[in-house]
Every structure is written in C-alpha cells, then in structure tokens.
Structure 1
Amino acid sequence: MQGVISRSKDAPVELVTVTVPDPGPGEAVVTIQACGVCHTDLHYKQGGIGDDYPYLLGHEAAGIVESVGEGVRDLEPGDYVILNWRAVCGTCRACKRGRPWYCFATFNATQKMTLEDGTELSPALGIGAFIEKTLVAAGQCTKVDPAAPPEVAGLLGCGVMAGIGAAINTGEVGRGDSVAVIGCGGVGTAAVTASFLAGAAKIIAVDVDERKLATATSLGATHTINSKQVDPVERIRELTDGNGADVVIDAVGRPETYEQAFYARDLAGTVVLVGVPTPEMTLELPLLDVFGRGGRLKSSWYGDCLPSRDFPMLIDLFLQGRLPLDAFVSETIGIGDIEAAFEKMHRGEVLRSVVVL
C-alpha cells in the first residue's frame, strides 16, 4: 500500500510502499476513505511525542472494514467505521469501576506494518491512516451511520472529538453556563460548538487570529477576545460580571495559557486542559491560589470520550443538522499534499485539511 511516513525528526514526509499484513486474532484491516491532518501528526513529525521512527502518520480517519481476524465479534467486512485510538480493554481498574473512558490499558494491533525492507513502522496513535489500508485492533473500529461522509465522520477520530468532549464530558458544560475557550484551532472551535450545543449562555472565544475568532463566532461564540490586543483574563472577567467563567478550556496547552485559564475562571469553577503540552513545559502556581479558588482542575484525555457511545451519537446529531461537523473541513486534499497541509496548519489557515483516498 502507499502510505505517508515520517522517517526522522523534522524531515519532510515521504510517500512510500508499506506492507500491511492480513489481520491476526482480534485485528482488522480497514480501507481508508478519508483522514484528517491533525496537529498530533505534526507533533510526531517534529519529535514532540517520541523518537520511535519511522512513523506511519495519520489517525483521524473513517473507512470500510475489509477483513477481520480470528475471534472478532460485532465487526465484519463492509462495516463503515471511524477509527479510534482508545480501544478500551474492559479489564483494567478504570474499566472495572465503570469508567471505561479512562481505560488505562487501551490496545492496538499486535502485528506491525513494515517498509519493503522489513523496517517496522510505528503507527501514529496506534492507527497510521495516511495509507490506502491500515491494520488496527478490532476495538479501534467504531461503527456509525454510513450516511455521514467519511471526510466529516473521520474528524471525530481525534481533534473534533477532543474539543467536543472537553466541553461536554470533562467540563460538564450545561445550560446557562459561561464558558471561555482559549485557542480556537480545530479542538478549541469544537469546544465552542459543543458549548453552544449544550446550551451555554455565554461562550467566549480567545485567540490571536481574527480569522479563527470569526469562525468561532459562526459556530456559537457569543463574544471574542484577541489576546494580542487585550488581557484575556481581565476581559473574560468583564464579560462575566467580574466573576470569571464557570468553565475555562485551554485548547493550546502552554504554561501561559493554562495560567490564563486558571485565573479567568469563577471561584469553584472548572479548568479543562485539552491542548497537549510538550515534554519540557513546566507550570508554577501559588499553592494558596490553588486552594483558595477551589473548583476543579481537570485534564481531558481524548475528550474523555467512549467511542462506542459518543461517535454514533455525534454522527446522528450531524445527520439531524444539529452539529455542523462539515464546517471543520477547510479543504480536501490528496495523499501527496500532506507536507503542504502541515504548513497551512502552522500558518493558521485551516481548521482541518482532510486527505481523501
């Protein structure tokens, strides 16, 4: 199969021939129809996640099951699926406590895809979907309504689900709440959309790019703040009667944006970190402020989603016209255009470029 790899840190991606084995026990081969270009793939390329090169990039994907291995139940060839990177185990301490969205032992395919010379590939987030067909654990396949186009459905595989879940699952945004979202890329804008869907009364979008703020407004933000021009903490307080927001979501994942989120929330409010920091980042806050302000400081893993529960529900909302997932697709591209898509992402020109195969 033709697939896109990152061979070494910061090297341009390459389109190469990849050997995909037949599925073994508990595995499935999926024909990829579309895959979003996610910032996490760029992190892999830049060495921000690990150094287990070469990586087979791509993970935000939808497609059709081609074949399944021995022992696979509830999945068969022809099923239309979204791939997920948290296939729950059902047996770890989180799963046994009825919290499978926190599963501590998620799993991937046992076999490895390889280059023609036998070099084993590390699939991004255990998926590797910038390829014609990929090998995954059967539990990484979530069946959804095939009426949803793959370039839209696949976005739930990572960034959009992370943002929606950060608001609804982790932040527990509800009717009448005030919400501030710091960083309005794909994840942050999804959090804005989910807050609107949940009935939040005030949704404040914060970014340094007026284009992103305009998009956030079109998807539900009631107020916008350009943090290059004003202090976002003070402005959020002004917009919330001097109190701060009930929920503040940091979709950037930097020490300075987390500190803004911490001080921009109301007393006993909630901070949600969904932006992914890099390994060298550290945070310093006065412990008395952590104690005195109360509330909850939470990290959101994949939007604390349970794919089998959340993916079909969100696809249904899209098909009902209540969740505009198609608004996140900035462009569709070919498999040879991924390096250019990374550059557009870095310049803030797109919410999502989506590779259509």
Structure 2
Amino acid sequence: MALEVRGVIAPGKDEPVRVETIVVPDPGPGEAVVRVRTCGVCHTDLHYKQGGISDDYPFLLGHEAAGVVELVGEGVTEVAPGDFVILNWRAVCGRCRACLRGRPQYCFSTHNARQRMTLKDGTELSPALGIGAFAEATLVAAGQCTKVDPEASPAAAGLLGCGVMAGIGSAINTGGVGRGDSVAVIGCGGVGGAAVLGSRLAGAARIIAVDIDERKLATARQLGATHTVNSAQTDAVDAIRELTGGFGADVVIDAVGRPETYRQAFYARDLAGTVVLVGVPTPEMRIELPLLDVFGRGGALKSSWYGDCLPSRDFPMLVDLYRQGRLDLDAFVSETIALDGIEAAFDRMHAGDVLRSVVVL
C-alpha cells in the first residue's frame, strides 16, 4: 500500500520550496522504500531549485541522507527491512564495461528507481539525484542503499551520501594523496573542508587551505589544515609556492569549480603534480590555458565525480573510522533543522554561514 508522507518540493525555477504530501509507491523489483532519518542541505539541491541542472519540475529535493529500510521489492538481497543505510546516487549496474573491468566506481550505467513518486493529484516528481530525501520516506533503487553501523549518528553519517564523500574521495581516491605529500585545497566549504580532512587521513605532511572567508579557513584548521591562505588578501599561487619551498603542491584540489580557481590550481601544483577538479562548474564556463604549459608541466589533470567513490566499499569504512574517533564527521553538522526550514537554510548556505544544515525527521 502506497505511503503518504511529507516532502519538500521545488515547484518551479527560483520559486520558494514548499512542504507537500508525497505519495511513495510500494517498491517494485530491485527497489526499496527508506524511512529517512536525516538529510543534509547541499548546494546541488539549490542548483535544482534554480534550474541549473534541468527543468524537469517539480523536483523532490534532498539527497544527502541516512535512514532505515522499511520495504524492499522483489529480488532485493543486498538490504532488508530494518537495515540502517546511507543513500547514494550511483547504484552500479555490474554489467557495463567499467564494472566488467573491475572498476565499478566508474560505472557508466548507474540507475535509480523506475517508479516515480507523485503529489496527491498524480503529478510525477523528479527526485534530486534519483533520491528525493527531503521527505519522511523515499523510493530508491536498492543499490542506492549502503548498509552501515547503526550506532553511527544519522546526521553525520548521512553526509557521506554526497558532499563529504566527494571531498574525502577527491583527495584519497582521485588525487591519490599519500604520506608526506603537500596538498592545497582551494575553496573550503563542505566539500573543500572534507578534502582537507581526507588529506589529513591519508597522511599528507602539509595541507594548505585557501579561501576568501576567514570563517571557512578557521574551520579548515580544525579539520587538519597546517596552513591557511586568504586569497582575497594575497595571491594564492604565490602563497602556495612559498609554503612548498617554491615548487608548488603535489596535489591541488579545486573545490570551487570556476575558471579562475582552476587556473590557480593548475599553476600552484609542482611539476608532475596533480590537479583535481571536484567543484562543479556551470555549463557556460570556459577555460583557456597555454598548451605548452599543459605539456611542459606534466602530471595529471583529473575530475573527481562523487570522489570516485564506491559506496559499498567506502561508506562502511569511513563510518567505522568515524566510530573510532578518527574521522570527525560531526564537525560538518553546523545545525539541525526541520523540513520547513530548508528555504532559510539555503540562504545561510549561500552566505557561507554553515558547512551543512541537516534536516532531522
């Protein structure tokens, strides 16, 4: 029997979000219904609201979530009712050329639930990143559920579902940060802060946090940055070079995703160093670099999509580190709010007042 729950929708471009009654169907084959316990407020949800991702309104927002499996459909074996799970937006297929080559973190055929959730009048909803977790319950593909230690704080664990995993993964998985490396992170919001934390976890010797907001730089120091640079006051490239003996950092992570920050990352890395783009650009952005510099500096220019994570591998491991006190996920939870507080949370996020507002249900 279908569930009727409260959920937050974006009805149209730049229109205020509102709480509506959402109809969640019984799970079909390969699907699961999850009772949402927490969901972080992410920039991606704001992009959906603003029309920056698609115009398939109305959207059911929310995707950075943890909850408990309530029902599963036919053929589901990976999770069962009662399991505490983190939701992810990349259920791997196991059959595409990436999966068959043993690289499921790059799966080229990820999928979501086939059925649509609706409003009471039957209007179909587009769930953000195939999740739609600003709701008391949501329908997902079973492969989007990753079972983790139920003793973990849902507010903290759920953040691994998107931004924190993207940042940690950009350092460890994509950037390959290792013991003794120097790392610079440009942009120290939620994703950049997580990249700092991931670099510390990987054993980097020098972690340089770059931002224009002293509040974010202070948080980056708490998360493990050894040095900070306010790029509104000094040239970021010069500062990073000065802090690395004149050479540049081994790995530079652009967690902003703008042409000017990418250029900073490119020139702030050492010869044969690595640039990682994890900040999400908008479609109109362009960058121009001298091809000779691309050739002459060597190294690697990489993009990190979801931190190149494999949820089934990475989520349980990171939750275990959190439970051991070795990974401070709680530091990212700036505040907890109710479903009707999301519009105001977007404003605080845009102003840089929070790392993450987390909806608690």
TM over 0.5: yes
Aligned match of 1:25 in 29, 32, 53? 29
1:86 aligned partner: 90
SS in 2 for 1:276: coil
Aligned match of 1:229 in 229, 233, 242? 233
Deviations 1:118-157 (A, max 9, x none): 1110000000000000000000000000010110110000
SS in 1 for 2:216: helix
Looking at structure 2, the residues matched to 247 and 48 of structure 1 have their Cα atoms a distance apart, in angstroms, of 29
2:156 aligned partner: 152
Q: Which one-letter code corresponds to 1:17 in the other structure?
A: T
Relative to the length of structure 2, the TM-score reads 0.98
Deviation for aligned residue 1:116: 1.2
1:265 aligned partner: 269
- 1:249-260 alignment runs, 5 A limit: 249-260=253-264
Aligned match of 2:216 in 212, 217, 237? 212
Deviation for aligned residue 1:288: 0.8
Flag as ranges the 4+ runs of structure 1 deviating above 2 A: none
1:314 aligned partner: 318
Aligned match of 1:60 in 48, 54, 64? 64
Report if aligned partners of 2:78, 2:142 keep a CA contact under 8 Å in 1.
no
Report if aligned partners of 2:170, 2:276 keep a CA contact under 8 Å in 1.
yes
In structure 2, the gaps of 5 or more residues are none
Looking at structure 2, the residues matched to 283 and 134 of structure 1 have their Cα atoms a distance apart, in angstroms, of 39
Q: Which one-letter code corresponds to 1:273 in the other structure?
A: L
2:46 aligned partner: 42
**Paired residues, number:** 357
Relative to the length of structure 1, the TM-score reads 1.00
Aligned match of 1:343 in 341, 344, 347? 347
Looking at structure 1, the residues matched to 12 and 267 of structure 2 have their Cα atoms a distance apart, in angstroms, of 39
Q: Which one-letter code corresponds to 1:138 in the other structure?
A: A
Do residues 243 (structure 1) and 251 (structure 2) align? Answer: no
Deviation for aligned residue 1:74: 2.2
Aligned match of 1:200 in 197, 204, 212? 204
2:278 aligned partner: 274
Do residues 325 (structure 1) and 336 (structure 2) align? Answer: no
Looking at structure 2, the residues matched to 281 and 116 of structure 1 have their Cα atoms a distance apart, in angstroms, of 39
Looking at structure 2, the residues matched to 32 and 144 of structure 1 have their Cα atoms a distance apart, in angstroms, of 15
Looking at structure 1, the residues matched to 117 and 284 of structure 2 have their Cα atoms a distance apart, in angstroms, of 31
Deviations 1:14-50 (A, max 9, x none): 1011111000000000000000001110111111111
Looking at structure 1, the residues matched to 294 and 51 of structure 2 have their Cα atoms a distance apart, in angstroms, of 32
In structure 1, the gaps of 5 or more residues are none
Q: Which one-letter code corresponds to 1:102 in the other structure?
A: Y
Looking at structure 2, the residues matched to 207 and 276 of structure 1 have their Cα atoms a distance apart, in angstroms, of 16
SS in 2 for 1:258: helix
Looking at structure 2, the residues matched to 27 and 199 of structure 1 have their Cα atoms a distance apart, in angstroms, of 39
1:353 aligned partner: 357
Report if aligned partners of 2:206, 2:225 keep a CA contact under 8 Å in 1.
yes
